Structure 1
Amino acid sequence: MLKFYHSPWSRSSGVFWLLEELGQPYEIELVDIRAPGGVPEAYRAVQPNKKVPAIEHDGVVITERAAISVYLADRFHEAGLAPAIGEEARGPYLTTLVYCDSVFDPAISAKAQGWTYQSNNFSFGLFDDMVKYVEKKLTAHPYAAGDTFTAADTQLASGIGFTMNILKVLPALPVFTDYVARISERPAYQRAQARDAELIKQVTPPQF
């Protein structure tokens, strides 16, 4: 059985979308990451920093979005969401998945916090460089890994949509708005969004 540890309207929403794309049965374990008393200490046994997302599949726990995405898309390869090892698109696919966690997210956080720093101060580099890179990538190809939708798009599009439309940190460049609009037409995305809107009623809501 596949268990998904999730908090609505958070970084785990992209994995929620991916699970809907895969079409495999799974159960949701809600984690109230915004609870006044904090996340229960017992959850640390699943995720050492008490963050979401996390999954447990056949007794194995996987954390971190990139790792979860690679695992799920490869494990359920029949969904066609991951280029196979040896395919040309595998490189851009893996690059985008890791980039979302290691560069996109921390650069967004630094910008939101108003940090002033030099490019070599942090491994994720400058916010403006990140924006230019993602803009160039999506200008060259319609999807994160090239010309085909993959699991990488569930993470990149989730990040762009949230930080552009909700947090108002990422600039609403035409290539970003077009990408999110195109992606949001996918039925799996719409199902995940609708379910998140219901699940948020069961946990402490975010203060955006």
Structure 2
Amino acid sequence: MAIVLHHHPFSRAAGVVWMLEELGVPYELRFVDIRQGDQKSRELLELNPMGKLPILVDGEAVATESAAIGLYLADRYALGRLAPRPDDPARATYLRWSFFAPSVIEPGSMAKAANWEFKPFQAGWGDHASMLRAMESAVSGREFLLGDHFSMADAIFGGTLRYLLRFGMLEARPAFVAYSDRLSARPALQRADARNLAVAKEHGLDM
């Protein structure tokens, strides 16, 4: 049974397409018209009470939250290739940066853009300057987050970084741009971008 991804190319589900392409496993995209609010249909609310995408269904397993989906897929279908095994010391770094993206980069960037007032020591994402330093340390002096080996953490962390760079929400530091360029050269990401674009065109959406 193929994996089913409930998908819209303007949602975080677009990044899950990249994850699936890296895995090389069969999958089906089911378009959800988020402009019409279809993500809040009764059927999809039963799968994700948040009423948001992405939603991935793999047999009896249901996963939501893009980082969680990536970790699930890598453990199930590419353990030892896209995910370090539990006894591999690299597993700690892998998990660190995978969780850093939704836990620090996303809220930290939103806080900066919206000029939120808060005490950094009280916020889980800390202050913006520290966040940038941490991100820069993660991608400097190495090809990928785990060194010369691409992992699902790069799809999670790197996908967030690429999105923020694309929309001018992240300072275009040389280390960030170079890392983004390395990711963009991956055939799986190019296939994912093409597939997301094809879905957008099919449904009359402007990318």
TM-score (norm 1): 0.90
Aligned residue number for residue 141 of structure 1: 142
1:23 & 1:113 partners in 2: Cα distance? Answer: 39
- Residues 112 and 77 from structure 1, CA distance in 2 versus in 1: closer, same or farther, beyond 3 angstroms? same
Aligned partner letter, 1:199: V
2:37 & 2:57 partners in 1: Cα distance? Answer: 25
Aligned partner letter, 1:112: A
Q: Deviations over 1:26-48 (max 9, x none)?
A: 11122233x15563332211111
- Residues 123 and 203 from structure 1, CA distance in 2 versus in 1: closer, same or farther, beyond 3 angstroms? farther
1:138 to partner: Cα distance: 0.8
**Residues 149-168 of structure 1: matches in 2 within 5 Å?**
149-165=150-166, 167-168=167-168
3-state SS in 2 of match to 1:61: strand
Native 8 Å contact 1:55 1:68 kept in 2: yes
1:121 & 1:94 partners in 2: Cα distance? Answer: 23
Aligned residue number for residue 169 of structure 1: 169
1:77 to partner: Cα distance: 2.0
1:24 & 1:36 partners in 2: Cα distance? Answer: 30
Aligned residue number for residue 111 of structure 1: 112
Are 1:72 and 2:95 an aligned pair?
Answer: no
Aligned residue number for residue 27 of structure 1: 28
1:64 to partner: Cα distance: 1.4
1:5 to partner: Cα distance: 1.6
1:13 & 1:100 partners in 2: Cα distance? Answer: 16
Native 8 Å contact 2:39 2:53 kept in 1: no
Q: Deviations over 1:92-135 (max 9, x none)?
A: 10111111111111112222223232213422222222111000
Aligned residue number for residue 198 of structure 1: 198
Structure 1, unpaired ranges of 5+: none
Are 1:45 and 2:38 an aligned pair?
Answer: no
Figure out how many residues of one structure are paired with residues of the other and give that number. 205
1:26 & 1:175 partners in 2: Cα distance? Answer: 33
1:198 to partner: Cα distance: 1.6
Aligned residue number for residue 84 of structure 1: 85
| Higher relative contact order (Cα pairs below 8 Å, separated by 6+ residues) | 1
How many percent identity over aligned positions? 35
Aligned residue number for residue 178 of structure 2: 178
Native 8 Å contact 1:89 1:146 kept in 2: no
1:79 & 1:87 partners in 2: Cα distance? Answer: 9
Aligned partner letter, 1:155: I
1:78 to partner: Cα distance: 6.2
1:66 to partner: Cα distance: 2.2
Question: Which has the larger displacement, 122-131 or 100-109?
Answer: 122-131
1:17 to partner: Cα distance: 0.3
Native 8 Å contact 1:3 1:28 kept in 2: yes
1:153 to partner: Cα distance: 0.6
1:202 & 1:32 partners in 2: Cα distance? Answer: 12
Native 8 Å contact 2:32 2:38 kept in 1: no
